[in-house]
Structure 1
Amino acid sequence: YEIIRYIPDYRIIVIKSTVPIGTNSRLSNELARLTEIPFDLVSNPEFLKEGCAIEDFFRPDRIIIGTTSPNAAAVLQELYDPFVRNGKPIIVMDPTSAEMTKYAANAMLGTKISFINEIANLCDLLGADINNVRRGICSDIRIGYHFLYPGLGFGGSCFPKDVQALIRIGETHGYPGWLLRAVKQVNDHQKFTLQRKIISLFGEDLTGLHFALWGAAFKPGTDDIRESPAIGLISDILSRSGHLHVHDPQALENLKKIFGNQIQYYQEMYQMLENVDALCILTEWAVYRNPDIEKMLQLMRRPIIFDGRNLYECAKMTGKGFTYFGIGRGHPIASLPQILDEELIVEP
């Protein structure tokens, strides 16, 4: 509103943020009442991933320009041409469609994540390995590999918000949004997968047990812990009187703002493993992908791993002496024999 009061002559105003669908139309009408100077309001949503924003800006998959003005479209096309010399498209459409495109893209990616997690959960129950299943389905060019990685669900500031926003938009217009509701329900359930596995193995009372967590950010490359499964896992273990040691290359300061001195924070990923009863992997940071296995075995009280990101091969880890639980690897804890040693009593 302030911009429109000070423009001296025709200007193009560009909205980059994710905004409620219909914002461009509403704002255009409201701004037109504030000035007689001509302007065009363009919806130009960004598609920048956290941790890769600069690279995504310079090498976009596509550029979306939402406008009904040929002049505004031509100006923005000229602006973006240097960034799409690799042949990626500049797509011009009406503003409402541009606004919907941003929501639909994030909802689609969230849908793919919830789908593969649903299949992974079935694999656990049926004794199949999701890694094999994933290779089998993703080699179909109609499906592809992108965003079909089983894990602990999607988090961050975009996917959960945008899926929920589309559900509410549908409700506002009398449409229930069955698929989007299912995507959200599967994701909400998936975030608590490690809690269920831990409780199935150790029981409801975790008093005296020590758990190491590798990773707190919702994904690698960022310190963002919004909607991270680590938040729920930490809260649940604390509520059951368990002890926590946490390492993350970037997110510890943000974690301290929530949990303060309730947990122990580590800058080094091995020291924290001393005398722990289990290791939980929540973020697929590169530093966790090829750990010193022998060092881990020496330090841990019980060599038990709950891998929420399927970083390791089951056969390799079990062959080294670990009890290993991934996501969808065909090993439901409820069907396993007792794997804890006879001395189940632990010291507080």
Structure 2
Amino acid sequence: MNTKSIPTSTLGVVAYGANDLRITEVPVRPPAPDEAIIKIAYGGVCGSDLHYWTHGAAGESVLRAPMTLGHEVSGTVLVPAADGSGPHKGDPVTVHPATPGDDGHTRYPADRPNLSPVGTYLGSAARVPHCDGAFARLVTLPTRMLRLLPTNFDLRTAALIEPASVAWHAVSRAGDVRGKTALVIGAGPIGALIVAALRAAGAGEIVAVDLHQHALDVATRLGATRTLLADQADAIADAQADVALESSGSHRGLASAIRGASRGGRVVMVGLLPSGDQPVPMSLAITRELELVGSFRFNEEIDDVIAALCTGRLDIDAVITHEFGVDDTLAAFETARDASSSSKVLLRF
């Protein structure tokens, strides 16, 4: 298709500020030679999308201008890159939404670009100007972000590849989990996907913890061998897990992970806690010689996730609980923020 025949605007989901989410026309950016235009099929509503909607900010990333949301997406190539890079017209794709950035001063490991100091992410207000996301019917993206999928790959499942990659990265930070006991604190979408990744990695016992029984039921379908409600403090502490993965993003969750880890165990901190000091029992981490490690987004694990989905080693479809057309985005966001009755909510474009 000639780019001259592409519409100059398309329907998108834009956050203007706290409690101001609009389904409105957004421009279709003309592609550079190494960019393709993607017809988006599905998008997954992430916690950060919900925060931009409800608070006008996600952590310290504050909306200072209207921003198109979304970074968990799948679709097909409508217009391939003019330079011949990337997938061809009609190819199914998912998206790696990160662009690493080096400020020339801050040190970070070269093989871990997720830690680069001035990187950007689709649908993020961390920098000004903001990086618009991909919740739109047509999106222009660099081909380096695109990951080609098999022809018959379900595009609904493909929308989960980005959050599944976050989970896969978290499990890799836990080390070799084969045959080990793993404790997952917080069984929302990311926690549930961590359960699935642990199962794929060969973990022995997988104990999932959450405030809501609905989330625990989803975790069970994805591979949890045992579930506990978050108020079962004694049972959580008695888990004695080789690895504990905290995905609730709360200091109480991190405290539970520390208490539930075995002596000499490892705690992987996945959920992003609020900025500032957090009241957690660090004395236990010291006296039990726990290893506390962070886990932030992902790197090339996205390719491992795609391969595992193609072979059937990884099964994640059970995390999808609701699907809405883009015209019903507000209802989708309302549903997604009710953790007592939903897990991953998809928008259909």
For Structure 1 versus Structure 2, the TM-score category normalised by the shorter chain is 0.3 to 0.5
TM-score w.r.t. length of structure 2 = 0.40
- Select the structure that is richer in strand: 2
TM-score w.r.t. length of structure 1 = 0.40
Greater relative contact order (Cα 8 A, min sep 6): structure 1 or 2?
A: 2
Structure showing greater Rg: 1
